[in-house]
Amino acid sequence: MCKMPFAFDDVAVARDTLRGVAYRTPLVVSTDLLPQRRLYLKAENLQYTHAFKFRGAYNRVHHLAPDQRRKGLIAASSGNHALGLSLAGRRLSAPVTVVMPDNAPLVKEAGCRAYGAEVIRHGETYDDALAFAQEMAEKRALTYVQSFDDPIVAAGQATVTWEIAEDLPEIDTLILPIGGGGLATGALGFLQTAPIDLIPGRDLPWHDVCVIGVQAEGAAAMVDSVRGGRRITLPKISTIADGIAVRQPGALTYRTVASYIDEVVTVTDEEMLLATGLLAWKEKLVVEPAGAAAVAAALKGRGTLVRRIDAGCRIGCILSGGNLAQDVLLRAIALAGEE
């Protein structure tokens, strides 16, 4: 087992930092998605910038030195981290530049510009954008803000799981999407370090919660890395779920996920589209395909989820984001209507 990248005190500091800044999103109880079963949906699609990424980005920028913020920040992102950093920069008076791959949704680019960020398009994948952004950071003397491979960012993302734990102390299964692994690292870090008496109503250690990570079948870098026992870079990726389209997991996030996660599974683009449509149709929640990955896995009963669902476990799903193009939403709703 590797050492956790942050301590519980770091999550507590992040929680204080985000109090009154980030929105405490609701835990929606769904009785319509699974027959005779409940799913607890953490609606981070309703977060500021419509994605959980704002939490980690703000926490990271808040902890930078004033001169670093003043000189400017830069990051690569397919969209949601870019949006989170753009808003964090505006609130903390830091100029922001974001580099997006060519296939990033226009709606996410427009959101970044609305928050005052400079947006540059470069490359076919997130990894292409990353290399270009890091080169620009050096040339312009900008501070590069990691989207997932940073303990302070991960501590900010851990506040999502803390809120779930408060709203559902008896939770025993947590399903979440994985791209680079920041959300999973935050969740695992909280569950591994939180004291058992943190929240009334909890009788078992928090690390007893089963955590299941979900990746797109066409971008399963973390799945392949965990199963292969080393960090793997995929030669190419292909998925509609731009929010989790990463060719290689982070070094820090891979070590944490590989050491502590219970299972990693994949879902297809069609399964994520169907989950997106059902969430809109039945729950009135607009969620992007990456954000619907956890629900897609639950609906299809991937891996150990079959047994956990049949046993009536209390299952939480993180809906990580809700930034999607109109045509994707319409396709998803049409697919759900065929069910």
For the chain, count helices (H), then strands (E).
14, 10
Q: What is the pLDDT of residues 154-185, one digit of tens each?
A: 999 999 999 999 999 999 999 999 999 999 99
Instruction: Establish whether domains 8-51+150-337 and 54-144 are of one fold.
Output: yes
Question: Is the pLDDT reported for residue 15 higher than 80?
Answer: yes
Cα-based distances in Å from 1 to 4, 5, 120, 210: 9, 12, 39, 17
Contacts of 330 (CB under 8 A, 6+ apart): none
Query: Quick one: pLDDT at residue 304?
Result: 85
pTM: 0.96
pLDDT classification of 307: cutoffs 50, 70, 90: confident
One of 3.40.50.1100, 1.10.1740.10, 3.40.50.150, 3.40.50.720 is the CATH number of 54-144, namely 3.40.50.1100
Structural contact between residues 271 and 299, judged by C-beta atoms closer than 8 angstroms:
yes
Cα-based distances in Å from 174 to 205, 208, 302, 327, 333: 14, 11, 13, 30, 26
Query: Quick one: pLDDT at residue 124?
Result: 86
Domain ranges of the chain: 8-51+150-337, 54-144
pLDDT classification of 113: cutoffs 50, 70, 90: very high
What single letter denotes the amino acid at residue 122? H
Question: Is the pLDDT reported for residue 198 higher than 90?
Answer: yes
Contacts of 13 (CB under 8 A, 6+ apart): 155
Please state, in angstroms and rounded to a whole number, the distance separating the CA atoms of residues 26 and 47. 10
Average pLDDT over residues 272-278: 98
Tell me the two tokens of residue 209: 């919660």
One of 3.20.20.70, 3.40.50.1100, 1.20.1540.10, 3.30.70.3270 is the CATH number of 8-51+150-337, namely 3.40.50.1100
Higher pLDDT, 71 or 124: 71
Query: Quick one: pLDDT at residue 159?
Result: 98
Question: Is the pLDDT reported for residue 1 higher than 80?
Answer: no
Kindly report the average pLDDT of the chain as a whole number. Answer: 95
